[in-house]
Amino acid sequence: MSQAPMETWPTVDEAAARLETSRRTIFRYGTAQEIEIRKRAGKTVCNPTDIERLKPATHIMPEGTRAVALAKPQSSAAAPATSNGWAAMLQVIDRFIQET
């Protein structure tokens, strides 16, 4: 297997962006020997083959399926969703105070 020339190797920042992770995680991969890391012209670079190998697989929904619709959150007196909800909650509290 041929290796890409080091001039084309991504920097640690570029590798982190490709893997959607942090620089620190890239260095952890290097310590665990999951990614080959070297110095090039004063910059730290990563082997692009290792970066591609560690990229998460893209999720594709199977044919004939559909996305699940999330239920609309229900508002409650404990957590009113609107200013009207706050007014209703204050009325409940006021009635409670008057009854006690």
Give pLDDT tens digits for 27-74: 999 999 999 999 988 999 999 999 999 988 777 777 777 767 777 666
Q: Which of 11, 12, 49 is nearest to 27 (CA)?
A: 12
Q: Do the domain assignments include residue 28?
A: yes
The pLDDT of residue 1 is 47
Domain of 50 in residue numbering reads as: 6-54
Tokens standing for residue 67: 């996305």
Which residue do the tokens 């959150």 mark? Answer: 73
Position 66 in a domain: no
Question: Tokens 């009207």 map to which residue?
Answer: 84
- Tell whether the model's pLDDT for residue 24 goes beyond 90: yes
Question: Residue 84 has which token pair?
Answer: 């009207």
Q: What span, in angstroms and rounded, lies between the C-alpha atoms of 41 and 21?
A: 24
Query: How many domains are there within the chain?
Result: 1
